[in-house]
Every structure is written in structure tokens, then in C-alpha cells.
Amino acid sequence: MDTWTNFLFLRHGQTDWNLEGRFQGVADIPLNATGIDQAAGAATILARQPIDRIVSSPLIRALKTAAIVSERISIPIDIDTQLIERGFGKLEGLVVNDVKRDIGISLDVPMARHLPPDAEQWPDTVARTQAAIDTWLARCPGETLLFVAHHGLFAALSELLTGHRKEGENGVPYEFQRSGAVWTITKVK
């Protein structure tokens, strides 16, 4: 991470499962109409950025978001399976707040550390995310990279780089910017 440079991150646009507050994980849920509009809006914003490469999760919600951006800025997409969302095991498809009530945790507590054994555990998500970003930044020195992926990866990166978890919004591009040893995450406007 000491050699990491600035990069952009776009969480995929909204899906019906996002709207319903469900665990999506590795379920391949498509964008809804709002998600497609969000991706188009992000593409407009990102067209003003100097992007050299788009790297996307292969899940359809991220890949469609990346495709909308790619079409707008004429940059091809590289697909990386390491950018897939974390698996939630038996919780996939369930409503997050219902699960929180069932296990007795407050609705404002992230589920990251309260998942069943068949889910990808938080330290594994963080390590996988770090390895994926590290690989691409090392492979493409001097390039501005846009990663199109998922909530879990955004949260992992924010915790890894800033020390606290930040919730990324659907279809909103963010810049991860380094100044010395300090990282900031800001919305791209």
C-alpha cells in the first residue's frame, strides 16, 4: 500500500435487491432502471476525469455499470474476478434489517463482522480487495484506474486506507487520493 497511487472507484448502480435492502453477495442481480440512470450519470461525471483503464467485477450489476461508463469515455473494460462482491452464504437474498433484528444487533451496526461461517469473512474480504487493487496499481504504474465493483470492496478499501469504514453510494464515483501517508475519499463531481 505504500506504493499505491490515487485511483477512482465506482460502486455499481442500484438493483432491486439494493432497493429492498437484501444481501446480494455473489448473486448475479441486474441493475434496475434507477441503477441504469445512476450509471449514466456517473459516466457523465467520469467523462471529465483522465481515466486510462476501467477494471470491473464480472457480476452483471458492476459490469453493466462499467459498460455504460466505457461506452461514454471509449475505454475498454478489464474484468477481474477478485473484484466480485463478498459472498454472504445462507444470508444471500434475505433482508439485512430482518437478519439484524433476528440476531439482536442494532440496525446501525454493519453486518461485516456478524456473518455466518459459510460467508466470506471480513478479514478475507479486506485481504482479497487489497491484493486485487495492489495487482492493478503495480501492473499499470502512472495510469489512472477506475475500479467498478461493490459495497463490500468499497468498505474494505475505506477501512484499509483511512482506518474507518465509509459507506459508498450506488452509482456514485469516488476518488481515493493519497497525500503522504494520509488517504482521503471524496465524491467525484
Q: Which DSSP string do the residues of 117-143 spell out, in sequence order?
A: TTSPPHHHHHHHHHHHHHHHHHHSTTP
150 is catalytic: no
What band does 21 get if pLDDT is binned at 50, 70 and 90? very high
pLDDT digits (tens, 9 = 90+) for 126-149: 999 999 999 999 999 999 999 999
114 is catalytic: no
Q: What's the whole-model pTM score?
A: 0.95
Closest listed residue to residue 185, CA positions, set 2, 11, 3: 11
Whole-angstrom Cα distance, residue 121 to residue 153? Answer: 12
Distance of CA 48 to the CA centre of its chain: 21
Of the candidates 71, 85, 92, 150, the residue annotated as catalytic is 85
Whole-angstrom Cα distance, residue 181 to residue 169? Answer: 25
- All domains of the chain in start order, with CATH: 7-187 (3.40.50.1240)
Give me the pLDDT at residue 17, please. 98
